[in-house]
Amino acid sequence: MDLTSVLPREAIVEPEGRFLADLMGRGVQGQADAIVLPSSTEEVAAVMRWCYEHDVPLTARGGGTGLAGGAIPVEGGIVIGFERLNRVRQFDPLLWRMHVEAGVTTADVQRLARENGLRFPPDPGAAELSQIGGNIACNAGGPHAFKYGVTGHWVTGIEAVVPPGEVVVVGGPLRKDVAAYDLKSLLVGSEGTLGLITAAWLRLLPAPELELPVVGLYPDLDAGITAIERVLASGVVPAAVEYLDAVTLRFSGDAYPFGIPDGGAFMVVTEADGATDEARRVAAELREALADGAVAVHAPTERGDVTELWRWRAGVAFAILAQRGGAFSEDVAVPLDRLRDVARETLAIGERHGVPALSFGHAGDGNIHSTFLFAADEADEQRRADDACHDLFDLALQLGGSVTGEHGIGWLKRGQLERQLGPAGYDLHRRVKQAFDPKGLLNPGKKT
Ligand SMILES: Cc1cc2nc3c(=O)[nH]c(=O)nc-3n(C[C@H](O)[C@H](O)[C@H](O)COP(=O)(O)OP(=O)(O)OC[C@H]3O[C@@H](n4cnc5c(N)ncnc54)[C@H](O)[C@@H]3O)c2cc1C
């Protein structure tokens, strides 16, 4: 495979492990003939033209933090990484906008915004590693998506390379644009199967003056879910509404900065934000809504404590993984009135398959990380955990939900989409893919 006709030699690297798997891709290891790390949009376009000419699969890779196996090259060919496409092309703090290349990390976008009194609200958990291109390709969420929406909400334009190697720009530094079919939204969440995102225009917000988390601890799941329902019915808009069930707390509670009180077996984490007076008013309302039936309510106000709380929350996934060495953590989304069912049924599914089960996640969005644990060296246990995931997908569909609220279909949920969309919806989905990528070379095997 001679790519030197289209790329400088230093942009072509030997296939090595880190480009062939993703962070929690269930041990799935892909294969590739070459890894390319282009530094410009023109180089990305040249690679795609070469692939289209030679019928070679092309798999996009951002930070490799995806949890659905989306960046794993399952059919060989070329992996295209975006880490060298990492310039901030323009930043206009007074106009609340930024134009960045796809390989800029999520944390760098957040930092640059923050240092200038602004905020890029999407906050997926692996921000130091994940890239804006990957976030857009997965339409990533996070705890604060409850108030602020997922990544796509903050993207006003995308520059992408689409088959057979054309550069297209949809949207731009515009806040409104209804001219075409919503091609931007088709690329958002397309998991590298429709085009390669090379740059994006992002919308920012003035940072809130104050952020005030309010945490309720409850004796059991029922009391906790009832508290969430009270928060939602209270008429205020929290920035985040998260929950952690009893098993999650057992595995991660030791590091909780304010101490889990006796009898605290279900946690609800909310946050008020905004201008100082507004944040205080909402925090008071949240306290009231969370107090009923609570074992304790914690409401940290010091900036350091608030940071500590969210740092702890971000580390929960790793504390869970550390328990047995293996964890399948899914991300089903259900209508809000079915939260209680998904929390309860997750435990029942785990019991049925003989694997430890727990759930936590973005309760306010009905987007729950139901998780099944296994010992990494126990093949049978791993198989049972995998079976449990399939029962969970069935449950999500029965409850009128989605098999994925933020991680995407990727490789690990292949086969689920047709069940969710039905034959006519799935056919439309397939025809969109064909319109963009008639040869089916972009990230083959994914989002199906
Ligand atoms: C500890 C932890 C916590 C997490 N928390 C969250 C969370 O709260 N919310 C959430 O939504 N996700 C979360 N994730 C999942 C993950 O971080 C996100 O899905 C993230 O958006 C992936 O970005 P990435 O750059 O790592 O993409 P990758 O994993 O490299 O790729 C993901 C998909 O995007 C495609 N892709 C990547 N770059 C491009 C590009 N430039 N153009 C076209 N396609 C591209 C790939 O082909 C693949 O299909 C978490 C992951 C971890 C490990």
∠ CA(345), CA(351), CA(353), 5° rounding? Answer: 105
Among the residue ranges 7-21, 150-164, 344-358, the one predicted with the least confidence is: 7-21
Q: Does the beta carbon of 20 sit less than 6 angstroms from any atom of ligand 1?
A: no
Q: Which numbered atom of ligand 1 lies nearest the CA of 23?
A: 53
State the pTM of this model. Answer: 0.97
- Spacing, Cα 48 to ligand 1 middle (Å): 21
For 49-81, write each residue's pLDDT tens digit: 999 999 999 999 999 999 999 999 999 999 999
Percent of the chain with pLDDT over 70: 99
Cα 204 to chain centroid distance, Å, stands at: 19
CA of 127, closest atom in ligand 1: 17
Determine what percent of the chain falls in helix, strand and coil, rounding each to the nearest 5: 40, 25, 40
Q: Is the CB of 347 under 6 A from ligand 1?
A: no
pLDDT digits (tens, 9 = 90+) for 263-316: 999 999 999 999 999 999 999 999 999 999 999 999 999 999 999 999 999 999
Nearest CA to 441 out of 83, 177, 131, 80 is that of: 80
Beta bridge partners of 372: 328, 357
CA distances 286 to 129, 216, 264, Å, are 33, 9, 18
What CA–CA distance (Å, rounded) separates 44 from 441? 15
Q: What is the pLDDT of residues 387-446, one digit of tens each?
A: 999 999 999 999 999 999 999 999 999 999 999 999 999 999 999 999 999 999 999 999
317 pocket-lining for ligand 1 (C-beta < 6 Å): yes
Beta-carbon count within 10 A of 104 CB: 24
pLDDT for the residue numbered 24: 64
Q: Identify which of 61, 243, 332, 414 to mutate to test ligand 1's pocket (most ligand atoms within 8 A of the CB).
A: 61
Q: How far apart are CA 403 and CA 420, in angstroms?
A: 8
pLDDT at 26 over 80: no
At 426-442, the pLDDT tens digits run: 999 999 999 999 999 99
| pLDDT for res 344 | 98
* Test site for ligand 1: of 48, 65, 318, most ligand atoms within 8 A of the Cβ: 65
| Separation of CA 67 and ligand 1 centre (Å) | 7
* Res 16: pLDDT: 82
Structure confidence at residue 23 as a pLDDT band (50, 70, 90): confident
pLDDT at 27: 75
Strand pairing class (58-61; 78-81): parallel
Query: 51 C-alpha to center of ligand 1: Å?
Result: 24
Q: Please report the DSSP string for 389-413 in residue order.
A: HHHHHHHHHHTT-BSBSSS--TTTT
Q: Report which residue type is found at 40.
A: S
| Other residues' Cβ atoms within 10 Å of the Cβ of residue 438 | 11
User: What's the rounded Cα separation, in Å, for the pair 272 and 239?
Assistant: 6
Indicate whether residue 197 lines ligand 1 (CB < 6 A). Answer: yes
What integer is the mean pLDDT of 334-346?
98
Residues in Cβ contact with 2 at an 8 Å cutoff, skipping those fewer than 6 apart: none
Q: Which of 20, 36, 59, 138 for mutating ligand 1's site (highest number of atoms within 8 Å of CB)?
A: 138
Residue 214 near ligand 1, beta carbon < 6 Å = no
Q: How far apart are CA 300 and CA 236, in angstroms?
A: 19
Decide: 443 in ligand 1 pocket, CB within 6 A: yes
What's the CA-to-centroid distance between 90 and ligand 1, angstroms? 24
Q: How far is the CA of 58 from the centre of ligand 1 (A)?
A: 17
For residue 124 and ligand 1, the question of a CB distance below 6 A is answered with yes
Q: Where are the beta strands (DSSP E) in 219-279?
A: 240-244, 266-274
pLDDT of residue 25: 60
- In short, whether 274's Cβ falls inside 6 Å of ligand 1 is no
pLDDT at residue 184, as a whole number: 98
Q: From ligand 1's centre to the CA of 309, what distance in Å?
A: 23
pLDDT band at 14 (very low <50, low <70, confident <90, very high): confident
Residue having the nearest C-alpha atom to atom 20 of ligand 1: 135
Q: Is residue 161 very low, low, confident or very high in pLDDT (cuts 50, 70, 90)?
A: very high
d(CA 335, CA 378): 35
